[in-house]
Structure 1
C-alpha cells in the first residue's frame, strides 16, 4: 500500500502496489508536471549586455 499525505491529511491511497508498479504509482502521486515549465529571470540587465560574443 502507498499513501500520499499532505499536512497530516490523506490525499490518495493505492492498495496492492507491487514492486514493478512502484515507480509508476509514485510518479502519478507526486509528479504535478511543474518540472516541465521553464522560468527565466533577468537578474541584471547591465550584466547581460556585457556578455556579447567576441568576433572570431
Structure 2
C-alpha cells in the first residue's frame, strides 16, 4: 500500500505545486512518506511488495 499511497500523493503534489498551493507541511509529509517507501524498498529488495487499494481511493 505504500507504493500506491506514494503514487497518489505525488500525483496530488504535482498538481498542487504547479498551482502554488502546496504548503511546507505538505512537502515535509511527502518527503517523510517517500523516505519510508525508500526504506521498505531497500530493506528487502528480493521480496515482492503487495500493492493494495486504499479504502479512500479507487
Q: Give me the TM-score of the superposition, normalised by structure 2.
A: 0.26
Higher strand share: 1
Higher relative contact order (CA 8 A, sep 6+): 2
Larger-gyration structure (1/2): 1
Q: Which has the higher helix share?
A: 2
TM-score of the superposed pair, with normalisation by structure 1: 0.26
